[in-house]
Amino acid sequence: MERIDKIISSQGKYTRSEIKKLAAKGQILVDGKIIQKTDIKVDKNQVKITINAEELNIKEHLYLILNKPKGYVSATEDRKDKTVLDLVPEELYRDSLFPAGRLDKDTTGLMIITDDGELAHNILAPKKHIKKIYEVTLDIPVTEKMIEKFAEGIKLNDGECKSAILEITGENTCKVTITEGRYHQIKRMFGCCKAKVIELNRICMGNLFLPTDLTLGECRELTTKELELLQKR
């Protein structure tokens, strides 16, 4: 059993003081009955809560997908830059959200935002071997030698990377599949090949590909099917 104001505020749309005011005005109904006090305790899995004639769809956790544009940092707050949380639509926003993993400020593409720490661990922990695919543009042509080096495992200053798959897609472009998520990993791996990454776009995590209709900067809830794909090796 949980306090009704806690249940409602956890869904992000209303603050506790707003909830108090709404209840005082008779605009909150629990199982069809108006409540005046917001400290009553209910079972959130059993009750129907209606606010302003709209039923509250209670969700324990939120799972969002964002097509990250350049210029946003992967953090919950930042003193000088805009964060990926600034791109979460107001109706989906809750204070507990955080980006599951990091993309550099100048990297674009698939980013998961959630308030579920367990899910974040499942997709980020190196032991889980969740694959991530990046589209890469380099300042120089991609070579067969790079394919070999990536497959062997590139040595970075913080240890050796696991074998990665590099697929040439154009003169200066390729796709890279990794199963880790080290700091600036792709840029540092190419740095070891004397190449500079000009554009970096993540297109896949697990078996979830960036939906082609999700435009840059767009953020929406994942479907149940997409959430399953995300956690697949």
What would the x/- binding string for ligand URA be over residues 185 to 204, using CB under 6 A? Answer: xxx------------x----
Interacting positions 5-64 with ligand URA (CB under 6 A): none
- What DSSP designation does 99 have? E
Report the residue number, 47 or 193, with the smaller CB distance to ligand URA.
Answer: 193
d(CA 39, CA 35): 10
d(CA 100, CA 167): 26
Q: How near is the Cβ of 19 to ligand URA at its closest, in Å?
A: 39
Q: How near is the Cβ of 111 to ligand URA at its closest, in Å?
A: 10
| Polymer length of the chain | 233
Question: Any contact of residue 184 with ligand URA (CB under 6 A)?
Answer: yes
d(CA 138, CA 101): 23
Question: Any contact of residue 104 with ligand URA (CB under 6 A)?
Answer: yes
Nearest to 203 by CA among 177, 232, 233: 177
Give start and end residues of each alpha helix (H) in 11-116: 16-24
Q: Which stretch binds ligand URA (CB under 6 A): 34-42, 167-175, 178-186, 204-212?
A: 178-186
Active-site entry in 5, 39, 43, 104: 104
d(CA 34, CA 189): 61
Active site residue 158: no
Q: Which stretch binds ligand URA (CB under 6 A): 21-29, 32-40, 47-55, 182-190?
A: 182-190
Find the binder of ligand URA among 107, 112, 164, 230 (CB under 6 A): 107
3-state SS class at 29: strand
For residues 26 and 15, is the Cβ–Cβ distance under 8 A?
A: no
Which residues here bind ligand URA, judged by CB under 6 A? 103-104, 107, 184-187, 200
Which residues are part of the catalytic machinery?
104
